[in-house]
Amino acid sequence: MNTLDQVYALLQLVPVQRAGIGLLLAALGLPIVGVVIVGLDIMPVRFAMMHVALFGIAVGQLAGLDTVLCALVACGLAGAGVSPLARTTEALSGAMGLLMSIAIAAALLMLALSGVNANGAFALLWGSILAVRPADLAVIGALAVVVPGLFVWRRRDLALLLHDREMALCSGVPVGRLTTLLLVLVAVAVAGGIRLTGALLVDALTLLPALTARRLGHSLGSITAWAVIVGAAVNTVGFLISLAWDLPPGPILVLVAGAVALATHLIPERRTTSWRASASRSATSSH
């Protein structure tokens, strides 16, 4: 059986089809979440949410509830909870560190109280794209609608908020509410992404396309569009490579996304017209 035949045969399997749909849906929402993470400068959010998700899983195991649902709810509440600290980037980064420490301590306490083997809880953090369930697809699908929808609906407000919080405030942007909404979306998206690729590899779906797009675009609109395009391309290529050569999808997705991000950062920055030349031109035209 040649490589193409192998890919075709694998694509007939339901878990593989589900994984492919999951990755395509993820490409619509998660890279835009990455744009928010880069814009708010909250790169440690993945680690914070990983620990909060573990806390949610521990609560779920203790209470006998759906652990993934508990993890999503815990992440959503944690995102909303840290938003009052988002007045400065430094405060938000510090809050992420605090959240991470408190969440892991609370999770370990919960696991000890419930008498559950901690390894069982940790195992849920190592998600796999081929083990995606319909419920996970529903979360990623909802994000694929809500996140791009928010960016279309509040594009002006988001551009101002991600640029400069104070200028956004003075321009009538509801900064507090919008920041809370973004942090909840980021938290839920990271938790949802963890189910797809595992906690350590969730960057492939969020941050890496956004970092590539940050290099290629020069406004929120163009960066967002590039993030989705890069996310879709990376997910498709990475998934097909993993099917063709029977390699684990998570690491391949990260390596492909990382290679693309690295390549765009190695390309010399586009030559822009000297501001001095532009200034003299516009000054001339204005007189």
Partner 1 sequence: MRDVVCRHGGLEAVSGVGLDAAPGERIALTGTNGSGKTTMLRAVVGLHRQVTGEITVGGRGCRTAAEWAWRRKACAWIPQRPAAGRFPLLARELLASGGDFGGALAAAERLGVGGLLERPLDSLSGGQLQRMHLARAVGCVTAGAGVVLADEPTAALDFAGQEEAAAVLTGLPVTLLVVTHDRAMAGRCDRVLEMAAGRLREVS
Binding site for partner 1 (CB under 8 A): 38-41, 89, 156, 159-160, 162-164, 166-167, 169-172, 217-220, 223, 272, 275-276, 278-279, 281-283, 285-287
Residue 190 Cβ vs partner 1, minimum distance, rounded to whole Å: 19
Our CB check for partner 1 shows the closer of 170 and 247 to be 170
Our CB check for partner 1 shows the closer of 109 and 170 to be 170
Our CB check for partner 1 shows the closer of 65 and 279 to be 279
Question: Which residues are within 8 A (CB) of 252 and not within 5 positions of it... i.e. 6 or more apart?
Answer: 238, 239, 241, 242
Residue 280 Cβ vs partner 1, minimum distance, rounded to whole Å: 9
Residue 33 Cβ vs partner 1, minimum distance, rounded to whole Å: 14
Give, as one character, the DSSP assignment of residue 93: H
Residue 86 Cβ vs partner 1, minimum distance, rounded to whole Å: 13
Residue 172 Cβ vs partner 1, minimum distance, rounded to whole Å: 6
C-alpha to C-alpha distances, 142 to 137, 148, 202, nearest whole angstrom: 8, 10, 18
Our CB check for partner 1 shows the closer of 51 and 215 to be 215
Tell me, what amino acid is at 248?
P
**How far apart are alpha carbons 124 and 53 in whole angstroms?**
9
Our CB check for partner 1 shows the closer of 5 and 276 to be 276
**CB burial string 193-217: b at 16+ within 10 A, e below:** bbbbbbbbbbbbbbbbbbbbbbbbb
CB 98 within 8 A of CB 31: no
